[in-house]
C-alpha cells in the first residue's frame, strides 16, 4: 500500500520492518513472491528493489517459490506460508488481507487470524 497501488514499494516493507524493530521486535519475517526479484516490467513497477536483497541477506525476508510452466508464471499460495509461520511461532500477521479463505480451511487458524491480525496504513512515509 506504500506505493499507492501504482508500484510495489520495497521502501514500504523496510518502513514496516523498521517500525517493529525500533519497538524491540527482532524475530521478523517478511514473505515476498520470488518473481519480485525479476527485472521489473512497465506493467509491474517496483521501486528500491535492492531493499529486498538487503533484507534477505539479513535473514528477515524470505522469497516464496514460483516457477515458469509453458511460459506462464506459477506462484505458490504465500498466504498459507504467512499464517502457518505466525501460528506456529505464536506471532502476529501484519497485513490488510483478512485471510477469509484460510479461516475456513482450519478451525485453529480462524481463531488465530481473528485475534492476531494487525492491519496497517501508511501516511506518506509514516507507518
pTM > 0.95: yes or no: no
How confident is residue 6, by pLDDT bands cut at 50, 70 and 90? confident
**Cα–Cα distance measured from residue 34 to residue 31, given in angstroms and rounded to the nearest whole number:** 9
Label residue 60 exposed, middle or buried (CB < 10 Å: 0-12, 13-18, 19+). Answer: middle
Map out the domains of the chain with their CATH numbers: 1-65 (3.40.50.11980), 77-120 (no CATH)
Pairing of strands 46-47, 8-9: parallel
Alpha helices, DSSP H, located in the chain: 10-22, 50-57, 78-88, 100-105, 107-116
pLDDT at 112 (0 to 100): 93
pLDDT at 39 (0 to 100): 78
Per-residue pLDDT reduced to its tens digit, 40-88: 777 778 899 999 999 999 999 999 987 677 777 666 678 998 999 999 9
Amino acid at each position: 500500500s506504500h506505493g499507492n497501488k501504482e508500484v510495489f514499494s520495497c521502501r514500504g516493507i523496510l518502513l514496516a520492518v523498521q517500525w517493529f524493530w525500533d519497538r524491540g521486535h527482532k524475530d521478523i519475517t517478511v514473505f515476498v513472491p520470488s518473481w519480485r526479484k525479476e527485472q521489473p516490467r512497465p506493467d509491474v513497477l517496483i521501486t528500491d528493489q535492492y531493499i529486498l536483497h538487503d533484507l534477505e541477506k539479513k535473514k528477515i525476508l524470505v522469497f516464496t517459490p514460483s516457477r515458469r510452466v509453458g511460459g506462464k508464471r506459477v506462484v505458490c499460495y504465500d498466504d498459507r506460508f504467512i499464517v502457518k509461520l505466525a501460528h506456529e511461532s505464536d506471532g502476529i500477521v501484519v497485513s490488510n488481507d483478512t485471510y477469509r479463505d484460510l479461516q475456513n480451511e482450519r478451525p485453529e487458524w480462524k481463531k488465530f487470524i481473528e485475534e492476531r491480525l494487525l492491519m496497517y496504513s501508511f501516511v506518506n512515509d509514516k507507518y
